[in-house]
Structure 1
Amino acid sequence: MGLMDNLKGKAEELKDKAGELAGKHNDKIDNMVDKAGEAIDKATKHKYSDQIGKGTSAAKSAADSLAANKPKND
């Protein structure tokens, strides 16, 4: 097995593990994304509130998608 095959295998393992963790801790992830968005919004004096809102929504959606694609071996 070549180096690229090893890397691809490891990448799949990491993706599966990330999906598993995202599924188990989805509430915590959403909470931390909200807190980060609020801190950034405050630091920018609410100048970019719309963009920050879109970014936090996208981050939550990405975490949900990752959690939805986790392996079904539970």
Structure 2
Amino acid sequence: MKPDIRVQSPADNSWFKSSHSSNEGGECVEVSVAEQAVLVRDSKDTARSHIALTPTAWTHFVRYAATGGPEHQQADH
């Protein structure tokens, strides 16, 4: 991940949430795809700054999240 990526925040209509998200509370993020980065922000506080991830870092994160994180990883022992 490159923390020095500087990407201008896109117009509000280009942010989206997962189809699995609901408006019933909990933690949700919104995502916007920029030319050289994937932007991520808190869906409940959209005035706060976003983070920018390289497309590769975003792909790794999504794969990690899809497996359920470390608590669902099998030990190699």
Whether these two folds match at TM > 0.5 is no
After TM superposition, the score normalised by the length of structure 1 is 0.28
Q: Which has the higher helix share?
A: 1
- Structure number, greater radius of gyration: 1
Q: Which has the higher strand share?
A: 2
Structure of higher RCO (CA pairs closer than 8 Å, 6+ residues apart): 1
After TM superposition, the score normalised by the length of structure 2 is 0.27
